[in-house]
Amino acid sequence: MVENSELRKAGLKVTLPRVKILQMLDSAEQRHMSAEDVYKALMESNEDVGLATVYRVLTQFEAAGLVVRHNFDGGHAVFELADGGHHDHMVDLDTNEVIEFTSPEIERLQHKIAEEHGFDLVDHNLVLYIRKKK
């Protein structure tokens, strides 16, 4: 199983709750899930994993680099699988929907701005808070 090898590569022991949570994150339609979202999805699949276990496993996954935690303003933490690809986010303030996007122009401009101030851009996190036009 792919999940087993991913857990071992991350230095984590393969346990049923870890496998189930990793499978849930991998197969979920929603890419950004809170611990509560993961817990509800597991319950709907008749998986017996407690909410405290979900929180603990997601924290372990974050420390191991398997997931990335985002704390968007006005909301609770959400997690997404760390797939290695960089992207930025837009958060719809009315629906809390998280939309991923990439923009080579924005990436280039961020590097240029850092350079103009005498710095090398090491990392960044861009979140745009949006609303549908009326």
Angstrom distance (rounded) from CA 88 to CA 128? 8
Angstrom distance (rounded) from CA 62 to CA 98? 19
- Is residue 88 annotated as involved in ligand binding? yes
- Is residue 117 annotated as involved in ligand binding? no
DSSP letter, residue 45: T
In 3D space, the residue among 70, 69, 56, 63 whose CA is nearest the CA of residue 18 turns out to be 56
Residue 34 in tokens: 């809170």
- Is residue 107 annotated as involved in ligand binding? yes
- Is residue 32 annotated as involved in ligand binding? no
Q: How many CB atoms lie within 10 A of CB 45?
A: 12
| Binding residue positions | 86, 88, 107, 124
Binding-site annotation: residue ranges for Fe cation: 86, 88, 107, 124
